[in-house]
Amino acid sequence: MKLEENQLTGTGSNAHLNQLASVGQIAAGIAHEVKNPLTAVKGFLQLLQQEHDHEYLEIAQSELENALITLNNLLQVSKPDLEDEEVQKIFLSVELESILNLFQDKLYDITIITDFKNMDVSIIGKKNQFKKAFFNLIKNAIESMDGKGTLTLTHKCEQDEIVVSIKDTGAGIPQDKLSMLGTPFFTTKETGTGMGLMQVFSVIYQHGGKIVVDSKENHGTTFIINIPLQGQLKPNGVKALPLEYVEESSIKDFFLGNRKAFEEKLLDEAINVKDQIDEIQNIGNINLLNNAHKLVLFIVEGREHDLISFAKQEGVAWAKHSLTLALKLEWVKAIRRTMWNFLYQYDLLNQTQADRLSFFSLEKNINDLMDQFLTYFFISYSKFKDELLEKQHKLVEHLSVPIIPLNEEICILPLIGTIDDRRIMTIQDKVLAEIETNHIHTLIIDLSGVASIDTQAANDLVKVIKGISIMGCKPILTGLRAELVKSLISRGIGLNSHAEFKGTLKLALHEVGFKKQLQIEME
Ligand code: ADP
Ligand code: MG
């Protein structure tokens, strides 16, 4: 069903979205007011508990904790720091693309179709807010498809508007729920917050745009967004932050003294990483904020050596826990931007403003070190991953040479699949070692599962078989397929003196005295 335009758009007199945006603002306002006294209550409860513990106190505290979490969620959406964001030129298709990257590892069987036109047309607005909004919309779309489906993103310019659509083939939204969309706390998900769409609507409203939703249960949902090219928001360049500055302090001290402000600015810049900080801390025990401070200090102090070993260490940690690389890139980019913003502020506050020459040398030093960090991070990341792959490969190869003992002296080696020279080496190593340690007397090699073998590998296999017989073990070959035999003959590879041949594994077993058991089993 297609929703009536006026039910969910933010222009004109209708403005359901308009109402929703104000509901959001009011809710956030209340949240802000209520949060402070509740935080105070939390403190007093803790004091009370120190005096004398009571089970009700625990309950009161945990309920209070829940309430505070809810309030924080609400505040996330229209936090003043987001409202204060500077206005700038935004290429929405570029942002869409970069947000999409953040979902790489959640896509499974989801096909992505992008149709981006007029990519060189920009709008004016608050970039991080848009990023967050697209993040919320794409996240919802992916969640609605439960791992399987098609996500289609389009971008185009129509008259004086950018039109973006986000379409999924997911669960869809029942008609009676459509009007609830964007209401704070409306969610149908077990762990949902019902804050996502509220943020989306309020951003679009603030930029003078409109949003329409078209959804059909069990078929999917499309959100279509129109944003005017010339919004009501005007650019205001680099914004001065209220930073502390002590006369003649060094850049390092300046960063140390403004640690808190740096964190806040950084989190504003890395809007999508922000939501994942706790998760990354939990999964990999990686404290992104502390690490950001560390990186910045290494850079401004020019500690190249420490920086490189830190980058390597981070690369391994990131690889070990299979964390998304796009996230790391976004984070490092945010650190770079925030750092430059701070350097700019430092230069303003530090009256002896740097001349061009010293500025460019600073620029070179800082960017060089940042690049070094990224280079070493990626090298150690991929090295770790490559080594892991190699280890797994070896393990699989080892498992693909199963030597199964029938009794103290007789073993079977069933070979399956393609045999290449790499595998031959594994076979050789494993077989010879096993013969030596377990004094195997007879080894039945069953080749009925081997499809093909190339010349080099066939030659090597013959050598392994000779080796087996030299070690005093009798090799019996079974299940040679006609194809394999033909190729052995055509290459003039003979084995008669070294191995016995039996048509089938059953015959070979019979030969070595397993007649009785076999008959019993067959009955
Ligand atoms: P949350 O994702 O935390 O539930 P949102 O505000 O992002 O909160 O979404 C609110 C609700 O709207 C979701 O719980 C879901 O029922 C519905 N919804 C939003 N987007 C979609 C979509 N693309 N497909 C199906 N349902 C959706
Ligand atoms: Mg959501």
Query: Does residue 456 lie in a domain region?
Result: yes
The response to whether residue 186 sits with its C-beta less than 6 Å from ligand 1 reads: yes
The arithmetic mean of pLDDT across residues 160-187, rounded, is 90
pLDDT of residue 78: 53
Which segments of 150-222 does DSSP mark as H helices, in order? 175-178, 196-206
Instruction: Report the atom number in ligand 1 closest to the C-alpha of 197.
Output: 6
Q: Give the mean pLDDT of 490-519.
A: 73
For residue 43, tell me if it sits in a domain.
Answer: no
Check: CB of residue 294 under 8 Å from CB of residue 310.
Answer: yes
Separation of 187 CA from ligand 1 center, angstroms? 6
| Continuous segment of H or E residues that includes residue 422 | helix 421-438
* Domain with 158 in it: 5-11+81-228
Q: In this predicted structure, what is the pLDDT of residue 276?
A: 83
Instruction: For residue 187, give the DSSP letter.
Output: -
Residue 419 has pLDDT above 60, yes or no: yes
Angle CA 211–213–218, to nearest 5: 160
d(CA 202, CA 211): 10
Does residue 240 register a pLDDT over 60?
no
Ligand nearest to the CA of residue 190, numbered in listed order: 1
Given a cut of 60, whether residue 521 has pLDDT beyond it is no
Helix (H, G, I), strand (E, B), or coil: what is residue 419?
A: strand
**Ligand 1 neighbourhood includes 138 CB (under 6 angstroms):** no
- Whether 468 and 386 map to the same domain: the answer is no
Note the Cα 438 to chain centre separation in Å: 47
Q: Is the CB of 291 under 6 A from ligand 1?
A: no
Spatial separation of the C-alpha atoms in residues 380 and 238, rounded to whole Å: 35
Q: At 516, which CATH number?
A: 3.30.750.24
The whole-angstrom distance between residue 461's C-alpha and the CA centroid of its chain comes to: 43
Q: Nearest Cα to 328, choosing from 257, 382, 260?
A: 382
Query: How far, in Å, CA of 337 to CA of 81, rounded?
Result: 17
The answer to whether the CB of 220 is under 6 A from ligand 1 is no
112 falls in which pLDDT band (50, 70, 90)?
very high
The predicted pLDDT at position 83 comes to 58
Q: Is 240 within the bounds of a domain?
A: no
Q: Establish whether residue 181 lines the binding site of ligand 1, counting it when its CB lies within 6 angstroms of any ligand atom.
A: yes
Which one has a higher pLDDT value, 491 or 347? 347
Residue 188 CA, ligand 1 centroid: distance in Å: 7
273 and 378 share one domain: yes
Q: Which ligand is nearest to the CA of 200?
A: 1
Answer yes or no: do 179 and 94 share one domain.
yes
- Give CA–CA dist 441/513, Å, rounded: 13
Tens of pLDDT, residue by residue over 113-139, are 999 999 999 998 888 889 889 999 999
Q: Are residues 195 and 279 in the same domain?
A: no
* Confidence (pLDDT) at 105: 76
Instruction: Residue 198: name the closest of 85, 77, 83 by CA.
Output: 77
What pLDDT score does 46 carry?
85
CB-ligand 1 contact for 193 (6 Å cutoff): yes
Tell me the CA distances in angstroms from 167 to 9, 149, 221, 274, one per residue in order: 18, 11, 6, 25
User: Does the beta carbon of 169 sit less than 6 angstroms from any atom of ligand 1?
Assistant: no
Share of the chain above pLDDT 70, in %: 86
- Taking the CA of 211 as reference, the closest ligand is 1
Residue with structure tokens 């080496």?
425
Q: Which ligand is nearest to the CA of 177?
A: 1
Quote the ligand 1 centre to 140 CA distance (angstroms).
Answer: 5
Of the three residues 163, 193, 228, the one that is the final residue of a domain is 228
Name the closest-CA residue to atom 8, ligand 1: 194
Average pLDDT over every residue of 245-263: 88
Residue 256's pLDDT is what?
92
| Lowest mean pLDDT, pick from 484-488, 501-505, 514-518 | 514-518
pLDDT, residue 12, reads 34
pLDDT at 50: 84
- Among 46-60, 301-315, 402-416, the least confident range: 46-60
What does the pLDDT average to over 482-488? 75
Per-residue tokens: 276? 């994942």
Average pLDDT in the 15-39 region? 68
User: Which residue is closest in CA terms to ligand 1's atom 20?
Assistant: 140
Q: What's the order of all strands across the beta sheet hosting 474-478?
A: 404-405, 410-419, 442-453, 474-478, 500-502
Would 33 be classed as within a structural domain? Answer: no
Same-domain check for residues 256 and 337: yes
* 435 shares its domain with 374: no
Please name the residues in contact with 248: beta carbons below 8 A apart, sequence gap of 6 or more. Answer: 350
Span from the CA of 141 to the centroid of ligand 2 (angstroms):
9
If you measure from the C-alpha of residue 191 to the centroid of ligand 1, how many angstroms do you get, rounded to a whole number? Answer: 11
Single out the residue of 471, 462, 451 nearest to residue 424, CA to CA.
462
Lowest mean pLDDT among 220-224, 442-446, 458-462: 458-462
Share of the chain above pLDDT 90, in %: 35
CB 222 within 8 A of CB 213: yes
Identify the bridge partners of residue 113 per DSSP, sorted by sequence position: 152
Measure 83 CA to ligand 2 centroid, in angstroms. 20
The reply to whether 219 falls in a domain is yes
Task: Determine whether the shortest distance from the Cβ of 74 to ligand 1 is under 6 A.
Answer: no
- Please report the pLDDT score of residue 104 as a whole number: 78
Please give the average per-residue pLDDT across 398-407, as a whole number.
Answer: 86
**Looking at the structure, do residues 218 and 167 belong to the same domain, yes or no?**
yes
Residues 188 and 85 both lie in one domain: yes
Mark whether 255 and 373 lie in a shared domain.
Answer: yes
Q: Which residue has the higher pLDDT, 144 or 460?
A: 144
Residue 70 lies in a domain: no
**Ligand 2 centroid distance, CA of 199 (Å):** 10
* pLDDT category of residue 149 using cuts at 50, 70 and 90: very high
| pLDDT value for 82 | 53
Mean pLDDT of 476-489: 80
Domain count, the chain: 3
Token pair for residue 168?
Answer: 């999924």
Q: Lowest mean pLDDT of 222-231, 443-452, 491-500, name the range.
A: 491-500
Q: What is the mean pLDDT of the chain?
A: 83
- Nearest alpha carbon to residue 220 among 171, 166, 152: 171
- Ligand number nearest CA of 176 is 1
- Cα(10)–Cα(15) distance, integer angstroms: 5
Instruction: Provide the pLDDT for residue 116.
Output: 96
User: How far apart, in Å, are the Cα atoms of 371 and each of 138, 309, 377, 444?
Assistant: 31, 14, 10, 58
Ligand of minimum distance to the alpha carbon of 173: 1
Residue 371 CB burial class (10 angstroms; 0-12, 13-18, ≥19): exposed
Residue with tokens 């625990």: 58
Judge whether residue 2 has pLDDT over 60.
Answer: no
* Count of other CB atoms within 10 angstroms of residue 100: 19
Cβ 505 vs Cβ 474: under 8 Å: no
275: how many CB neighbours lie within 10 A of its CB?
15
* Tens digit of each residue's pLDDT (9 = 90 or more) over 349-392: 776 666 788 888 889 999 999 999 999 999 999 999 999 999 98
Helices 196-206, 127-145: crossing angle, 10 deg rounding: 140
Residue 35 lies in a domain: no
In the predicted model, is pLDDT for residue 239 greater than 60?
no
Average pLDDT over residues 4-20: 43
What is the Cα–Cα distance from 317 to 93, expressed in whole angstroms? Answer: 32
CA 220 to ligand 1: nearest atom: 24
Helix (H) or strand (E) holding 476: strand 474-478
* Residue 323 to residues 170, 354, 400, Cα–Cα distance (Å): 26, 40, 30
> What global pTM score does this model have?
0.54
Q: Which range, of 19-23, 176-180, 181-185, averages the lowest pLDDT?
A: 19-23
What SS3 class is residue 507? helix
Cβ burial 46-85 (10 Å sphere, 16+ → b, else e): eeeeeeeeeeeeeebbeeeeeebeebeebbbbbeeebeeb
Q: In this predicted model, which residue has the larger pLDDT, 14 or 282?
A: 282
Confidence of residue 203 (pLDDT cuts 50, 70, 90): confident
The domain boundary, picked from 395, 424, 443, lies at 395
pLDDT at 79 over 80: no
Cα–Cα nearest to 162, from 216, 96, 215, 218: 96
Q: Determine the straight-line distance between the first and last CA of the chain, rounded to whole angstroms.
A: 65
- CATH of residue 365: 1.10.490
- The CATH number for 112's domain is 3.30.565.10
197, 221, 225, best to mutate for ligand 1 pocket (most atoms within 8 Å of CB): 197
Pocket test for ligand 1, best of 8, 167, 187 (most atoms within 8 A of CB): 187
Asked, for residue 76, whether it belongs to a domain, the answer is no
pLDDT of residue 76: 63
Confidence label for 75 from pLDDT (cuts 50, 70 and 90): low
Q: What is the pLDDT of residue 352?
A: 66
Is the minimum distance from the CB of 221 to ligand 1 under 6 angstroms?
A: yes
For residues 443 and 464, state if they share a domain: yes
pLDDT of residue 1: 44
Q: Do 259 and 188 sit in the same domain of this protein? A: no
Indicate whether 419 and 391 sit together in one domain. no
Which ligand 1 atom sits nearest the alpha carbon of residue 188?
14
* Domain boundary pick from 365, 395, 425: 395
* pLDDT at residue 14, as a whole number: 37
